[in-house]
Amino acid sequence: MAAESPAMRRVQVAEHPRLLKLKEMFNSKFGSIPKFYVRAPGRVNIIGEHIDYCGYSVLPMAIEQDVLIAVEPVKTYTLQLANTNPLYPDFSTSANNIQIDKTKALWHNYFLCGLKGIQEHFGLSNLTGMNCLIDGNIPPSSGLSSSSALVCCAGLVTLTVLGRNLSKVELAEICAKSERYIGTEGGGMDQSISFLAEEGTAKLIEFSPLRATDVKLPSGAVFVIANSCVEMNKAATSHFNIRVMECRLAAKLLAKYKNLQWDNVLRLEEVQAKLGISLEEMLLVTEDALHPEPYNPEEICRCLGISLEELRTQILSPNTQDVLIFKLYQRAKHVYSEAARVLQFKKICEEAPENMVQLLGELMNQSHMSCQDMYECSCPELDQLVDICRKFGAQGSRLTGAGWGGCTVSIVPADKLPGFLANVHKAYYQRSDGSLAPEKQSLFATKPGGGALVFLEA
Ligand code: GLA
């Protein structure tokens, strides 16, 4: 499976309303017919939040919502991008001079990340041009990975235009790396599941080396996604990168405390691997080595024996240079305990005890609590929404994705679903103050969907 490439499927476009609409819009925009179409799905992370960039396994599934791109290669060396959503303006550039401006959160930059990743992988300086029309139905800035789906879709578009071949794993790794051109130091979860997902199963995604294993979810329960309607664009603020840096610093301090060579340590998982101990033992080491009071940059420099200048230039990312407070103890506690919860979740799914839905729900609740208290990546609306979901029948509910807004995911016994949906809708979306934008409201049951693929018109 590891070497498998994304599928290429022949379809009757006329039988697929979304493809047909895209084909017609493409024709009126560019005056020609697309040569092929690519889709890449968004995802919901069931458990394992903010631990992929620390080297730990996560447990997402692809959702049905995706990014779909209609493509026509052209001979002009010009890249023309258009979006079916009028909120996203047309963009065009020379395909040989791709510039990604990190300072501006522009939609087309995500496309450019995917394109640049493939271009660099093959060491190409000359790319053929193309016309692309993009259609996405993943709610943006909602923790369901709309941006990574666009990066992955653009990567597969570029690969297909070049007529080259790469495995799903290679594509996922290239796209995870190239999305960092946007400026966020994400892990590889979103891109991995977008390529490696398979219908009907969630996946345990492990890193270094990247691999995906099926996790069969309980048949008696449904996973429900609910949007808090608080938008969180992780590229527009430094919250996300601050967490990545806190974990990196915690890893270095833990390694130093244990007399390991710390300067090349970047991830909390590396410390555990070097010590050869369990996650539970890592929690004890964290208790001994780190203190709950926040660290300031001077104390970190003292602990590591480095200068402020070295801290800034050799460890911190550009957008975290001026951070004055680092909560290393809390972040490390979250990461090691969340990594353990992922493994417990998978084990319960495999063993399928009678009270499995309840046990999985408890792990999801613990995950939310840790995100809230230790990782501080929740917000009042998300906390309120998980409370409402639990009150109306969810066995467990938690924020999903980066947090600070976006969606929750809840595990709901299948027989309670209709009442759950009606009650949550009433309690959260029909609030008396009418403060929630109707177009962002979404509450839906989801099933594990398939991964990225190419469609050719039959
Ligand atoms: C974002 C990142 C992922 C992951 C999650 C948090 O989606 O892109 O790599 O870190 O946040 O779990």
The band of 128, judged by pLDDT with boundaries at 50, 70 and 90, is confident
Residues in the chain: 458
Does 190 participate in catalysis according to the annotation? Answer: yes
Give 60 Cα–ligand 1 centroid separation in angstroms: 11
pLDDT, residue 211, reads: 97
H or E stretch at 382: helix 380-391
The band of 357, judged by pLDDT with boundaries at 50, 70 and 90, is very high
H or E stretch at 453: strand 453-457
pLDDT one-digit tens code per residue, 41-57: 999 999 999 999 999 99
The band of 236, judged by pLDDT with boundaries at 50, 70 and 90, is confident
Q: Is 185 in the pocket of ligand 1 (CB under 6 A)?
A: no
pLDDT, residue 232, reads: 83
End-to-end CA distance of the chain: 26
Give 458 Cα–ligand 1 centroid separation in angstroms: 37
The band of 127, judged by pLDDT with boundaries at 50, 70 and 90, is confident
Lowest-pLDDT choice from 96-105, 174-183, 278-287, 385-394: 96-105
Looking at the predicted structure, is the pLDDT value of residue 431 above 90?
A: no
The band of 281, judged by pLDDT with boundaries at 50, 70 and 90, is very high
- For residue 136, which of 157, 115, 153, 159 has the smallest C-alpha distance? 153
Give 191 Cα–ligand 1 centroid separation in angstroms: 10
**Mean of the pLDDT values across residues 319-330?**
96
pLDDT one-digit tens code per residue, 326-344: 999 999 999 999 999 999 9
CA distances to 12, 19, 34, 37, 247 from 15, in Å: 6, 8, 16, 14, 49
Looking at the predicted structure, is the pLDDT value of residue 314 above 70?
A: yes
pLDDT, residue 23, reads: 98
pLDDT, residue 432, reads: 61
Atom of ligand 1 lying closest to residue 45 CA: 12
Looking at the predicted structure, is the pLDDT value of residue 259 above 80?
A: yes
Give 206 Cα–ligand 1 centroid separation in angstroms: 14
CA distances to 10, 106, 190, 278, 448 from 156, in Å: 16, 20, 15, 38, 21
What is the distance between the alpha carbons of residues 324 and 108, in angstroms, rounded to a whole number?
33
**Mean of the pLDDT values across residues 273-299?**
98
pLDDT, residue 187, reads: 96
Q: Is 50 in the pocket of ligand 1 (CB under 6 A)?
A: yes
Q: What helix, strand, coil percent values describe the chain, rounded to 5?
A: 45, 20, 35
What proportion of the chain, given as a percentage, has pLDDT over 70? 99
Pocket test for ligand 1, best of 189, 342, 376 (most atoms within 8 A of CB): 189
Angle value at C-alpha 220, between 347 and 358, nearest 5 degrees:
55
Question: How much is the mean pLDDT over the chain?
Answer: 96
Atom of ligand 1 lying closest to residue 187 CA: 9
pLDDT one-digit tens code per residue, 56-85: 999 999 999 999 999 999 999 999 999 999
Atom of ligand 1 lying closest to residue 53 CA: 10
**Mean of the pLDDT values across residues 145-152?**
97
Looking at the predicted structure, is the pLDDT value of residue 2 above 80?
A: no
The band of 101, judged by pLDDT with boundaries at 50, 70 and 90, is confident
- Omega of the bond leading into 209 within 30 degrees of 0 (cis): yes
- Identify the burial level of 236 via C-beta atoms within 10 angstroms of its C-beta, where 0-12 means exposed, 13-18 middle and 19 or more buried: middle
Looking at the predicted structure, is the pLDDT value of residue 1 above 70?
A: no
Its pTM stands at 0.97
pLDDT, residue 234, reads: 74
pLDDT, residue 230, reads: 94
Catalytic residue among 190, 288, 415, 433: 190
pLDDT, residue 404, reads: 96
Residue pair 196/359 in contact by the 8 Å Cβ criterion: no
**Mean of the pLDDT values across residues 152-178?**
98
Which residue's alpha carbon is at the smallest distance from atom 11 of ligand 1? 402
pLDDT, residue 438, reads: 77
pLDDT, residue 103, reads: 80
